[in-house]
Structure 1
Amino acid sequence: MSAAKKVAEAEELVRQAEKSLKTSLLKWVPDYDSAADEYSKAATAFRIAKNFDKSKVYQLKAIECYKNNKSWFHAAKCYEQIVLLSKDTDKLLEIEEYVNKACSLYQQHGSPEAAASALDKAAKLTEQKHPEMALRFYQHAIEVIMIDDSIRQATEYSSKVSRILVKLRRYDEAAKAILKEMDLYQQTESYGQIGRLVVALVLVQLARGDSVEAEKAFKEWGSCCEPEEVSTLQTLLNAFDEEDAEMASRMLATPFIRHMDVEYAILAKNIPLPEGMQLEKKSEDNAGIATNEDEDEGIC
């Protein structure tokens, strides 16, 4: 169907909606339910016709009608459609306002899962260009879903919080987020997942420049790790303790670390190596230079 036909269809739906809202001697109360549905359909038709401004206008009118009818769930759905319009028009910064309104209405309806899902979808739309906004959405989603004690869903959102914090290099917060994530996995007895997070936590602590906290994390949680993880972490921590940059570099490049979630794999590449060996080498080089200079002076 052409854009012109979709616009004509939308305009007819708007006329029907306005007619539904009119009152008369025999009709004392506006038919908000019918008007809301017609406005919503009109908004969809305008969106298909690429008339995004009018689509938003009529989604907002639909929301107003649904609210008058106390149809909180349907009003929230319309706010989600406006979120998609913000994506279509590349106005991602507007998403936060509308997804928070959708979330609030879903909660008012008694649907925390739908509220958290709306936040999750908004986070996926914004994570690439606005990771800090996506972070807020995932943090809010955890708060919402925990009201319903949905631990497994909370761990999924918590994982995304930890990874975004690592991506943003907010390592102090990332370490705390990983510990919270581990606590959630403890509640579901998912010890294999905890083992992988022990590796992540050690990497984050090393990125913070705190090898003492890294070793402490391993001692406290290392029993959840697989043998390969234990061996690698032990060698890695010994390398930092002995300031062996070459060994530390080899451990950070092991296959299972390279194949972790991309944020942790990138983090491993960027961890500052211990400087002991490098400093020792520089001292030796400098001593060699000094010896050569002395020899040269003697020849003269």
Structure 2
Amino acid sequence: MDKRNQSIITDFFLLGFGNLHNFKILVFTLFLIVHIMALTANLMVIVLVGVTQSLHSPMYFFLSQLSLSESLFTTNIVPNMLWLILAGGGKVSIGRCISQLYLLGVPTIAQCLLLAAMSFDRYVAICRPLHYVITMTFSHQLQMVTTCWLLGFILAFLVYIYLSKLKFCGLNTINHFYCDIAPLIQLSCSSTSAVELFIAVVSFPVLLTPFMFITVTYISIIQTILKIPSITGRQKAFSTCSSHLIIVCMYYGTLSAIYIFPPKDNSIHLNKGLSVLYTLVTPLLNPLIYSLRNQDIRGAILKYVPSLSL
């Protein structure tokens, strides 16, 4: 049937997780606990970096920005997801749906670029230590972070402009728990070639370029570390990079599984599972990985919450 002959729709129906029957309270409670833990952990990192003098270094400044992006990301998705679980699905206006996608895109783009900035910081610290103080001044850090966030706002807003021009008619059901770009394009009854082309053009500098940059910098970092004569020196150098490398692998792994190599249509449950991992679990694991593996952050936590040392 020609979509142009169908009536224009003004809202979508998000199916969420379908009919959970007797498990929806259990799933709601579990997701709510994880969300609160993730939000608390990320806000704790932001506050600790801000108030602890020993954490006033480029690495922790970038980490606090990473936690900020995670907080914005999960706050945009999870509350509505929890409501959908209890309601068994629900309507959302097209404008609100596209706005949610915009607010999803900003921290996603910023986080990709922030991970690249963090790898550059580790590269200079290990491969060019004599230039570190000159290269990683606070003004340079601020410029890098500002660029990451500005690109996030600008590029996501351009996608928002393209999507807001689309018309939707006929089917209005989205089998997901948040508004993602793929179902929006599929449900559109107007030409989507322009927005698809723009997204493809934007994806390369936003996703692939930072990943390639991180890969190249870590090749140099590993080569430099292997040249360190002492085993203790090598272990210390590896420990400063391992947390960041783990987060890069987790982030790009889930991002690639959802958007670059998505499951087929008959694997919608797998797609939702990966999305839960991406939107709920990863924001919790990121600050925990840094907190548990980093002596400075553990020390700051124990300084302000001494009861945790018991």
Task: State TM-score, norm by structure 1.
Answer: 0.23
Task: State TM-score, norm by structure 2.
Answer: 0.23
Which structure has the larger Rg?
Answer: 1
